[in-house]
Structure 1
Amino acid sequence: MTTTPHFTPTQAATPTTDSLFCSSVAVSALSAAVELGLLDDLKDRGEIRFDDRQEGADRIDPAVVRGILLPLEWAGIVELDDRSARPGPGFEAAYLDRGYFYWLAGGNGELTSRAPHVALERNRHGEFYNRDMRAVAVSSRMIGDVEVELRFDKILADQPPRAVCDLGCGSGQRLIRIAGNHPGVRGVGVDIAPAAVELSGASFAEAGMADRISVHHGDVHALPRLSEFAGIDTVTCVFMGHDFWPYDKCVTVLRRIREVFPDVERFLLCDVVRSEVAPGPHTPIFTLGFEFAHALMGVTLPTRSDWMAAFDASGWECEAVQEFNRPPGGLLFELRPSR
């Protein structure tokens, strides 16, 4: 399997304190450029002027636009002159990997900035941290679009579904794409985050598919028996399987999925597993951020063998496992109910 190179700041080849600091600033600036659409504008138009955002509710002072892009010039992502910006030598790689940066700084920025607070046992009760779940949903879609979703499309093309439920549906784009590829398919989305439910519902309506795809607020640890779950033959779940854990809870969740989807024939579960290699110069993008953020949240990250044990205990047979380069550590388990 060919590995696609990831973005590396051109000025940060050695781990000096200078480069560490500048890199952290560049991460925040890149995340902001993603959310504000500056990166998309550069991709589409090849050049943006600092004074382009002078109209409407999304007006940005030209000095602020330049200030956001300046760290990206340091990183080799853009090139600036007095009035405008153009893609730099590192732009294409950074654009491809933009989801990782937006996930870290946009989706989990408040969590990681409050690491000293959430680390203390006395503070770890109730809802002790905050994440921007809309940013998490959008960034997860960006990460998955590179490789994961292509595999899903191939699997579903080979064995077309009749009705699909996406657990942790996020932005809803997976269900929209599946419904677009398979006109007769009915879709149901479930997500625990109200922001994601709102986002996906709006996406379904905008795509003209609200009559074919519905969305529900729900927790996988307490999945209800909805009438809409009848007839679902394919269940999907991407980048949230680790929320099933620890082990005993995971087994319960996996059994519950079998119960509430009486007609399920396959379960396509994709998640990032915990690295079992010590970090070093060759540690890939996302791995450290993924494990750092989830440690702060108190989320158990399983290994591949942990998952296989849970499948066996909960009545799921794993027919195949596909590995991903992007995201690193990503696995797609193709499951069927055990006879």
Structure 2
Amino acid sequence: MKKTWMIYGASGYTGELIARLAVENGYTPILAGRSKEKFNSLAQELNLETSVYSLDDPKMIKEHLAGIDLVLHCAGPFRSTSSPMIEGCLLSNTHYLDITGEVDVFEHTHAKKQAGRAEKAGVILCSGVGFDVIPTDCTALKLKELVPDATHLSLGFDSDSGISPGTFKTMVHGLSSGSLERKNTEINAFPIGKKKRTIDFGRGKRTATAIPWGDVSTAFHTTGIPNISTWIPMPASTIRAARFMSFFGPVLGTAPIQKALLHLVDIKVSGPDESSRDTSPAYIWGEARNDAGEQYTVRIQTPNVYSLTAAGALEVTVRILDQANPSGGSFTPAGMFGSKLIEELPGCGRFEVEHEKLY
């Protein structure tokens, strides 16, 4: 029996990329969102069915998900939209995927209550099936395989990929909060720009700063490693500026400032074009160590972050739909399909491993 799946948020930059890739590969998702006007031309071009509904009421979502086997949720900001969609999926016995990178969304998806309900209903909940967080999640699991007793895990990436409107808006919403790390299993906040180190992500050593990347949540659920930090390259001067700006977090989080910044995103940000995506790969880095001083470092090169998101989201979707009776519950991408998932995606390299004894 042919299974039916839906892309909610098809009018967004990444949702459209996934829809086009799906059709190129012979799949026919239903395109959905709040306003048909925003994605109707895409649906007509790709000859796909549409569904129009808001996420205000999970019971209404349930009605629109009748007969839908899986929803790939691409409408951010996910801290506002994922919870009602998850609830609708649990009510309708529909598998749920999203492309978020937001820590609080991951924590909601993996909450004990959610996981228990999903397992009982036979529903898969899996947040982060794109660049957020497939490459780093697989890197985390690869390191756990190399260092089973690891106590500390660091993950990061380097890319000139550009940024989509949705990602930019997520950053705007997060201006009032700081960075995050996991320490002794608990998630702790600290000011942006406070922590820095030098890292070779795959194209030479660069100054880097800690950021609130989704793996602070997901890598813990994948590996159980109690101490996790996440990093991106950033010039020292920019790190100092970020540290200074952190003092203005409460102001940047106020409604008038948020409204003005989000309006600017709508006007100014369009996302990288195909040429930019084809010429801007990403470099993934991870490091794990144990109490005995054994340290492993792994690196892998991937396509542009948005190209990988489209390919990764489609791959996870197809793998789930191909299963006859998948077990329900809350999962990470690597937790479902193993560390080799990233190596099996189009255009990705293979893990390169280094080992050293620190003491």
TM-score by length of 1: 0.32
More strand by share: 2
Q: Who wins on radius of gyration, i.e. which is larger?
A: 1
Kindly indicate whether structure 1 or structure 2 has the higher relative contact order, using CA contacts under 8 Å at least 6 residues apart: 2
With normalisation by structure 2, the TM-score equals 0.30
